[in-house]
Amino acid sequence: MEAQSRRVAGSSETKNRRRDGAVMYGRGLPTLSIATVVAIAVSLSLVFFYAPLEAEQGFLQKIFYVHVPLAIIALCGFVLGGLLAIQHLRTRDPRWDMRSYVVIHMSLIFAVGTLITGSIWAKGSWGHWWVWSEPTLVSFLIVFLLYATYQPLRFAIEDPERQSRYASVFAITAGAFVPANFIAVRLSTAYLHPRVLGSTSNLPASMALTFLVSLGALSLLFATLCKYELTAKHTRSQIRALRRRLDGGDAGAPARARSAVPSLQHLTTSGAGPVVSAPAAGSSAR
Amino acid sequence: MSGVHAPPRALPSVRPARPPRLWPTVGALLRKELLVELRTLESVPGMSLFAVTTFVLFHFALNRSSVEGDLAAGILWVTLLFAAILGVNRLFVADADQGGFDGFLLAPVDRSAMFLSKVLTLLAFLVVLELVAVPAFALLLLGSPLGPALPGLLATLALGDLGVAVIGTLVAAMAVQTRARDLLGPLLALPLFVPIVIGGARATSPLLVAVHPGTPALRWLLTLGLYDLLFGLIAYALFDFLLED
């Protein structure tokens, strides 16, 4: 059985890669990318040609269709990162840590976008780049400052296993902090200032539709980018494992460079199954 | 027959039948922490001195000889939090550098005992810090009488201290294993302290006015209490994962 598998190692490897979802990562990526492009095109055309101009703010108000979805997705991404981290601590599967890392990383990028678009909007409509009376913006900054320490924390812990564990603890704590912080900041301003920007409930139907389409399109963008990053990370670690094998097994493997990126090293040597282990057994028999 | 039974009978005499209970362990650990602090005086004197020096800095930075209301509450809370950060940074250093973690992990005790004892230790440090810092604040900067404000202030400080102790312990345990521990500790802790500052300062500011001092709004005490509860549960649940090695 083993001899047979070794004889057809090449073909069984490719077959395994296709059949086993854990090895073939980029599946569905082209479809997802095309769907994202179409959705963004539709949402942008709705924003510019369908949604009516707002009476007071005029054209500037269109930034609402980018800013608010970005903020919602970033916050949901932060919370999702915490949920994935819970799964990581429960199963100890490094793939959950990788997902948590990618989701938080992408949310951080979306959060930068939110802060920039929010500042532009605030400058346009209120005349200041920063407005403390807008609780959503303020709590967003606090959440952003907290999550900005996620990468430095990972980078400062060398042992990959400990790094993933500590990062998960951080992700769960911070994920719970997001809603708690929003409530606290909202409380601190709600009594003094009326809410300037209400929820979608007081929007006219055409604006609400445009907003929801934008939200959907940017969510798709978020999902696509996450999937791209996951695929790239998995592929890179796979290539690294293959190169290690080419160089003559694990004994001569170079130490992992210090990095904030989760390590899938123990995954590629054990979790990926026959792809790596069969030839390793062959080389040891030799 | 007796030969078969002898080893199982001999074993319990060597090993206790069940591990020691949680609270005696916490008590022993707390005693150890306080004893170490009493002998080395590494944290609390530094924290207190830092707070007093910061009041002096505020006096010159604001160019005011007395402050009231919002400003007084803000100065008090920010100073206390920054002083607390000093204690947070030192909280696990001895355990990490001198094998305290290893000794604790080898002992057959509940790991939550470490968390609870560290929270109580930090809480004790904060109480001593405030015993120095609050009178010093009243003496150096506060423009209103401290007496009538004291009950409300004590209640607010107690709730704030609990939150700082819980979050500080979790963050300290995380930061102590990192390469840049003195840097990451404050970076992680300060954003998490923001709701405590909001609740604490808003609750304290009506107390620190010269005319018609009020009472802390129940809303803010409730906010502080809920935040303490939330993070207490989170930290209690997650702390074990920081100790596995």
Question: Which of B183, B190, B238 is most worth mutating to test chain A (most A CB atoms within 10 A of its CB)?
Answer: B238
Residue B20 confidence class, pLDDT cut points 50, 70, 90: confident
User: What are the pLDDT digits (tens) for B175-219?
Assistant: 998 888 888 999 999 999 999 999 999 999 888 887 777 777 788
Which of A89, A166, A187 is closest, CB to CB, to B219? A187
- The dihedral formed by the CA atoms of A251, A253, A259 and A262, expressed in degrees to the nearest 10: -70
A55 or B42, which is more confident: B42
Q: Kindly report the pTM of this predicted structure.
A: 0.82
Give percent above pLDDT 70 in chain B. 92
- Domain assignment of residue B216, given as a range: 19-243
pLDDT at residue A10 greater than cutoff 70: no
Alpha helices in B63-206 (DSSP H): 69-90, 93-97, 100-106, 112-140, 150-175, 181-204
Distance from the Cα of B178 to chain A's closest Cα (Å) equals 5
Return d(Cα B22, Cα B199) in angstroms, integer. 32
Asked if B235 and B115 touch (Cβ cutoff 8 Å), the reply is yes
Q: Does residue A249 lie within any of the structural domains?
A: no
B87 or A8, which is more confident: B87
Please answer yes or no on whether B194 and A153 come within 8 Å at the CB atom: no
Please answer yes or no on whether B234 and A146 come within 8 Å at the CB atom: no
Return d(Cα B173, Cα B235) in angstroms, integer. 10
Q: Does residue B11 lie within any of the structural domains?
A: no
Which of B177, B180, B227 is closest, CB to CB, to A166? B177
Note whether ipTM > 0.90 here: no
Q: Does residue B4 lie within any of the structural domains?
A: no
Query: Which residues are CB-contacts of B49 (< 8 A; sequence separation ≥ 6)?
Result: none
Please count the CA atoms within 13 angstroms of the CA of A130 that sit on its side-chain side.
6
Please answer yes or no on whether A149 and B198 come within 8 Å at the CB atom: no
A181 or B7, which is more confident: A181
Report the residue of chain B nearest A175, measured CA to CA: B234
Which of B178, B202, B242 is closest, CB to CB, to A188? B202
Query: Which residues are CB-contacts of B217 (< 8 A; sequence separation ≥ 6)?
Result: B202, B203, B206
Cα B48 versus chain centre, distance: 14
pLDDT at residue B69 greater than cutoff 90: no
Distance from the Cα of A136 to chain B's closest Cα (Å) equals 14
Report the residue of chain B nearest A147, measured CA to CA: B188
Residue A81 confidence class, pLDDT cut points 50, 70, 90: very high
Report the residue of chain B nearest A92, measured CA to CA: B241
Per the DSSP assignment, residues forming a β-bridge with B142 are: B67
Asked if A9 and A278 touch (Cβ cutoff 8 Å), the reply is yes
At B245, list the tokens: 């090695």
Q: Does residue B38 lie within any of the structural domains?
A: yes
Residue A7 confidence class, pLDDT cut points 50, 70, 90: very low
Q: Does residue A21 lie within any of the structural domains?
A: no
Residue A21 confidence class, pLDDT cut points 50, 70, 90: very low
- Domain assignment of residue A136, given as a range: 33-232
> At A166, which CATH number?
1.20.120
Which of B170, B235, B241 is closest, CB to CB, to A165? B241
Question: Which of A169, A170, A189, A192 is most worth mutating to test chain B (most B CB atoms within 10 A of its CB)?
Answer: A169
Please answer yes or no on whether B242 and A169 come within 8 Å at the CB atom: yes
Please answer yes or no on whether A180 and B230 come within 8 Å at the CB atom: yes
Q: Say how many domains are in chain B.
A: 1
Long-range CB pairs of B183-186 (<8 Å, 24+ gap) are B183/A152, B184/A149, B184/A152, B184/A153, B184/A156, B185/B85, B185/B88, B185/B89, B186/B85, B186/B88, B186/B89
Q: Does residue B52 lie within any of the structural domains?
A: yes
**Can you tell me the mean pLDDT for B4-16?**
51
**Can you tell me the mean pLDDT for A169-197?**
76
- Nearest C-alpha neighbor of A101 from the set A147, A157, A142: A147
Q: Say how many domains are in chain A.
A: 1
Q: Residue A172: its chain B contacts at CB < 8 A? A: 234, 238
Report the residue of chain A nearest B182, measured CA to CA: A156
**Can you tell me the mean pLDDT for A106-128?**
90
**Can you tell me the mean pLDDT for A196-211?**
69
Q: Does residue B230 lie within any of the structural domains?
A: yes
Please answer yes or no on whether B177 and A188 come within 8 Å at the CB atom: no
In the three-class reduction of DSSP (H, G, I as helix; E, B as strand; rest coil), residue B107 is classed as coil
Return d(Cα B166, Cα B62) in angstroms, integer. 32
